[in-house]
A and B are shown apart, each in its own frame.
Chain A
Amino acid sequence: MTVLEARNVSKRFGGIAAVDGMSFSVAAGEILGLIGPNGAGKTTMFDLLAGSVGVSAGEIRLMGQDVTTLPAHRRLAGGMGRTFQIPRPFPELSLIDNMLLARQDQTGERLWANFTAPRRIAAEERAARDKALALLDLVALRRLADDPARVLSGGQRKLLELARVMMADPKVVLLDEPAAGVNPSLLEVLIDRIREINASGVTFVLIEHNIDMVSRLCHRVLVMASGALLCEGTPDVVARDPRVIEAYLGGTPA
């Protein structure tokens, strides 16, 4: 079954096509890698999938629905979550508040309900809090739960973002360079967690420069260069493809 699909998607900034006619589909349960040299258009592709940037042409389908014009804030409830290349925690909010914000369809986020349904809100908050603490535990951040997110290191921010998006019970998660800036021991935590979450049925699309991580995690890899799909295959086949090697060596300057 296909959970996410791009059909001939393009994005032009001024005269430059950052993404140029990309088509691919993501099968339920897989971990799909998206690699390519700097400036290839990978992050822009994520922005298009997540709706934070509108497409110039093409169509995006999520769980079989056309979501091309669905606003970005509706896509998480639709089953797709994302993290950012440069992590974006809410720095002055505690880790636990960061986590609680990702829960979908919370009664307490409706203004008036705070005066009419305080018990229901308290119960939902308690349940969400338990889930948040369990997830923070999973990424080794539980002891910092009440600290503001600004105290976190770059690698910890990446882990927080992963845990945070999981609060929404997404079906598919887009991870933009999750290993960048993560130290080797945290990296092992990260890889294990992604594997576990994937084993529980969550699909991942993963932008990553760390080839070791890609070959350990990904079932299949897409290679992008100059906004277009260069080739696809299993990690070791792709790594040996001369076109890929050339794109990395001779392509766009980093």
Chain B
Amino acid sequence: MIDLLGYAAFFTSSALIFALITLGLNLQWGQTGLFNVGIAGFVAIGAYTSAILTTPEAADRIGGFDWPILAGWLAAALVTAAAAAFTGFATLRLKSDYLAITTFGVAVVVQLVALNAQGLTGGPFGVAFIPRPFASLQDQPALFNFINLGVIAAVTVAVYLALEHLSRSPWGRVLKALREDERAAISLGKSARSYRIQAFAAGGAVMGLAGAVQAHFIGFIAPNGYLPTLTFQVWAMLMVGGSGSNKGAILGSIVVWAIWVGAGAFSAAVVPGDWQARAASLQIVAIGVMLCLILLWRPQGFFGKRRG
């Protein structure tokens, strides 16, 4: 019973970390129309930033700097926001077409740096001994699981409330106006480019924070945690939940993560041992089927608004 509850806490924690990433994407895509296909890269920037800053000193790489966990998270959000702002600044001149390709490039570059800059990132082995919040409770696994869930849920709620506040603010109103009629908004004194960069950076900050929270939840990170699969999962979560809706972003993340985990467990139970490696792609198929069903049955997702 305790085991099951413990697992439920673990599952929900993982799902909520995805919800955070998806909330970031919702600000970028759902509210601003910025196509980010390099999500994994921005999540990785946040994860590595916090990991390098908060781990105890390591002999074989630069850092760690033994910072407090919260400082690491804050830095992760800021560094990722800066990376996103720079990406936006370089590509968002008038149209947002170039952004998609550039974000893909960012993800590839981040992956390569993580893999090869061994002196900073630990290379293929990654960074270990990332401090976990409330680590002193680690010898009581059930309690520890729930404390972790509490921390992650608190971060998710805080980010959700902040994003809702923004979307109802005059700032969010400008984003809506730019989406509805860019020329009219410009004629009223709004700089399309500046607002796009801001939204992209703010979304990036949320993704970076999510990466950091995840790193401290698992305790170690490695480059293969930030493959394009991650980007695909987050996009599926936003589509299923409903682009444009913060509630949808959270619900979509939980649903898609459940399908992902369920398909994984199913293939582990049914597929014979030597086929296991290939069976992993069953998870991607399951998500793909889910996406198709949603697109057929409710193209705007659970909470999305139908746009005419």
Interface on A for B, CB 8 Å cutoff? 50, 52, 71-77, 81-82, 84, 88-93, 97, 100-102, 104, 106-111, 114-115, 121, 125, 164-165, 168
Contact = CB atoms under 8 A, between A and B. Distances in A.
B280 to A, nearest CB: 40
A93 B180 contact: yes
Contacts of B132: none
Interface stretch (B50-58, B64-72, B171-179, B254-262): B171-179
A100 B189 CA distance: 12
B171 A125 contact: no
A51 to B, nearest CB: 9
B159 to A, nearest CB: 12
A114 B171 contact: yes
Contacts of B191: 71, 73
Interface string B29-44: 0000000000000000
Interface in B193-245: 198, 202
Interface centre among B183, B187, B198 (most CB of A within 10 A): B187
Interface string B151-182: 00000000000100110011101101100110
Contacts of A77: 189
B183 A88 contact: yes
B192 interface: yes
27 contacts: A52-B183, A52-B187, A72-B187, A73-B187, A76-B187, A82-B187, A88-B181, A89-B181, A90-B176, A91-B180, A91-B181, A100-B170, A101-B177, A101-B190, A108-B169, A108-B171, A109-B170, A109-B171, A109-B190, A111-B171, A111-B198, A114-B165, A114-B169, A114-B171, A115-B162, A115-B165, A125-B170
A234 B288 CA distance: 69
Contacts of A111: 166, 171, 198, 202
Contacts of B180: 90-93
Given A93-B176, A111-B198, A111-B202, A164 B188 contact: yes
Contacts of B188: 76, 101-102, 164-165, 168
A124 to B, nearest CB: 8
Contacts, number: 86
Interface of B: 162, 165-166, 169-171, 173-174, 176-177, 180-181, 183-192, 198, 202
Nearest to B188: A102
B192 A73 contact: yes
A52 B186 contact: yes
Contacts of B169: 108, 114, 121
B186 A72 contact: yes
Given A52-B187, A104-B189, A109 B174 contact: yes
A76 B170 CA distance: 18
B183 to A, nearest CB: 6
A241 B234 CA distance: 67
A93 B171 contact: no
Chain B CB within 10 A, most for which of A72, A73, A102 = A73
Contacts of B192: 73
A241 B191 CA distance: 44
Nearest to A110: B171
Contacts of A52: 183, 186-187
B190 A73 contact: yes
Q: 5 closest pairs, A vs B, by CB?
A: A108-B170, A88-B184, A76-B189, A90-B180, A114-B169
B185 A101 contact: yes
B189 to A, nearest CB: 4
B177 A90 contact: yes
Given A71-B191, A93-B177, A111-B198, A84 B184 contact: yes
B180 to A, nearest CB: 4
B187 A168 contact: no
A226 B185 CA distance: 30
A121 B170 CA distance: 9
A101 B179 CA distance: 13
B170 A106 contact: yes
Nearest to A107: B170
A5 B188 CA distance: 21
A196 B91 CA distance: 45
A89 B184 CA distance: 7
Contact of A90 (B170, B181, B198, B202): B181
Given A74-B189, A108-B169, 9 more contacts: A50-B187, A52-B183, A72-B186, A73-B186, A73-B189, A73-B192, A82-B187, A88-B184, A97-B173
Nearest to B169: A114
